[in-house]
Structure 1
Amino acid sequence: MMRILRILGSLRLTLFGIVLIATGVLLNIYIPGNPDLFISGPVGFLSLNLLAAIITRPQMRRQHALLLFHLCLLALVVVVFLGRLTHFKGQVELTEGQWLEAANLVTVSSGPWYHNILTDIQLQQGPIQVAYTTQNYRQKTHSQILLTSAQGVTEAAMIDDNNPLVIDNYRFYITPNKGFSAILRWVDLAGQTVLGAVNFPSYPALDFKQKQQWVTPEGEKLSLRLIIENIADANNNWILSSKVSKPRLDVIVNDKVHTSLFPGDSMKLSGGELQFMQLKMWMGYYINYDPNSRWIFLIALLGVLAMSLHLYGRQVNAPTLVRKLVAVEK
């Protein structure tokens, strides 16, 4: 049994395990589906290799600090792997006043063991303001988020460029993507009302391209073009917000401007009536979920401390070892 453990804990197999992990990472990049499964085998193999090395090497067990360092390495490998199995990365765009819903989430990547609990979070987008200097250099972004507890208590939280929103191990980061959103109200011939928002391209990065395609609930295809005054000031600092004077929404049908709508205006279309209610802002968020990240930091910190103690002990014991060697030679 010990012979098998010595073979399993050999340095050659350690190098082989590292090569397997590198191969799994490459497969993770180039093969779609559940690529984390390509890493599970190599990580398990390398964990057994490290555990076998600890068991079969007495000198490692005698040096407690060195043993603790290797145990931290083993724990780090396992925790990082579990993090990959349960992680989630996604994106979402929220308009002022909009609630977070699962249907709005765009998944970038997720582990096979990930369980979505975002739907349990009562999160609503509040006011958005972005400060700019001259020449349209973004300075500070402030996005207010309203969180409602299970007891119905609402609290306001502020997200900026340096401070994400952290809730239930989810981290919400603001992105440079933000812009205007037209709030539309549709009333069909039966009197049924539908309220929604159309997000226009990022502003001011794409200020020349404020166009969007929209399909009415009755299936009619429309082109919408947002016309706003030039709020950017080349000579002074300025604030990007939904407080824009006289925004205009051009409704284009068959490549021709059918009607120009200002907030509150409405128009008749086949199948119903369209009303441009108001103009708001939308903000893009990057969402990261990794419940094991705090443990990774603590384990890594403990490992560094253990290795420091080990190196310090070797330095302290070095003069004693030299004296023993001199005594033997005499």
Structure 2
Amino acid sequence: MHQSSVMSIARALASLKLTLVALILLGAGIIYAYIGDERGNLTLVLPLALLSLNLIAAVATHPAFRKWNALLVFHLALTALVLLVAIGRLTYLRGTVELATGEEFSGQLLDSNAGVWHRWKGLEKVRFTNHGFTIHYAPELRRDRTRNEVSTLDDGGKEQILEIGDQTPLVLAGYRFYTTPNKGFAPTFLWTPKGGEPMLGTVHLPSYPIHEYRQAREWQLPGTGIQVWTMLQFDEIILDPNAASDFRLPNEHKVIVRIGQQRHELQPGQAIELPQGRLVYDGLRSWMGYAVFYDWTIHWLLAVSVLIVGSLAWHFWRKFAAKPWNP
């Protein structure tokens, strides 16, 4: 291909009309991704890639960039920013997980939204344990910060205890875990099937206090088709809307369990005998909902953004500093 043909193609790619088309496509992609379609990643990445190509072509074909070094740095950094955003959309992850007190995170999320290039193997190696939380409420149920104690192992295999919250994440292998307002009570059961090994599990009731009067949930006994309806019942006021209070477990409670036509009221330690095995109510715990976020480009985006601002300031300073601004 002749050099003149290459330059013609480069000038076409550097066209402002192509810039306008790419920006329109990017806007449409943002709206499409906002709707929630899983294919929204590509509708953002393709316009961003087109914008990057447009910027690179503009740098290669306009002599002004070679005359002004600061302007060249600005556009190269802007190109890097666009590419980082595109790559970030392909590799990011957002998700949620719920853990009861004493429960360990083992890489499983309740729901997630991830880029097509996200490497799930990294998340599967992440481990930490929820040791409970404290939340203070002011009158009218105004929630203060969440203080959640968790533990994990450092690189030397030594356990470390950390406190995280809504704004203070636990960062492991690039994944950031934040506490959320989503939390509640978790009745714990020990299920021993006939001829099998005991299994300890929790039932996460609807979030409290937003679902204060709906503290019930249906679940299935592991390895069976048996549906179990469970409701937590207590009389005391946990969070008083007229006074300052703290989220805590009730001092006295019972759980109502319905299996088929049978109804049981259980205190901790009491059991239900079934033909398939034995179900013991072990006690009440709390559970915390976490928001999970991963995007390795965040720090690079910050660095490139600083470079963009600095190079643009350098360009205008060099362009106007030597000229007197006479009235």
Is the TM value for this pair above 0.5? yes
Q: Which moved more, 1:94-103 or 1:18-27?
A: 18-27
Tell me what 1:236 maps to. 243
Q: Which has the larger radius of gyration?
A: 1
How many residues are matched?
A: 318
Q: 2:116 aligns with which of 98, 109, 112?
A: 112
Specify the alignment match of 2:164 in structure 1. Answer: 159
Residues 6-57 of structure 1 show CA distances to partners (whole Å, capped at 9, x for unaligned) of 2221212211221222233344345734332233332222212111111111
Output the CA distance in 1 between the equivalents of 2:205 and 2:261. Answer: 18
Percent identity of equivalent pairs = 32
Pick which of 190-199 and 233-242 moved more: 233-242
Q: 1:42 to 1:135 in 2, by over 3 A?
A: closer
| CA shift for structure 1 position 151 | 4.2
Q: Distance in 1 between matches of 2:84 and 2:298?
A: 9
Residue 207 of structure 1 deviates from its aligned partner by 1.2
Aligned partner of 2:146 in structure 1 is 141
CA, structure 1 residues 60+102, in 2 after alignment: closer, same or farther (shift >3 Å)? Answer: same
**1:196 aligned to 2:201?**
yes
Counterpart in the other structure of 1:297? 302
Residue of structure 2 equivalent to 1:12 = 17
2:230 paired residue among 215, 224, 232 = 224
| Contact residue 98 and residue 290 of structure 2 kept, 8 A | yes
Aligned to 1:208: 213
- Of the structure 1 ranges 261-270 and 276-285, higher mean CA displacement relative to structure 2 is found in 261-270
Structure 1 stretches lacking a partner, 5+ long: 323-330
Q: 1:19 to 1:148 in 2, by over 3 A?
A: same
Q: Secondary structure at the residue paired with 1:36?
A: helix
Aligned to 1:328: none
Aligned partner letter, 2:14: G
**What corresponds to 2:258 in structure 1?**
252
Displacement, 1:140? 2.4
RMSD between aligned alpha carbons? 2.0
- Aligned residues of 2:98 and 2:110 also touching (Cα < 8 A): no
The CA distance in 2 between the partners of 1:319 and 1:233, in whole Å, is 68
Partner of 2:207, secondary structure, is coil
CA distance in 2, matches of 1:261, 1:93: 25
TM-score (norm 1): 0.90
Q: Which amino acid in 2 is paired with 1:115?
A: R
TM-score, L = length of structure 2: 0.91
Counterpart selection for 2:132 from 127, 134, 137: 127
Q: One-letter code of the match for 2:230?
A: L
Q: Report the residue type matching 1:131 in the other structure.
A: H
1:186 partner SS = strand
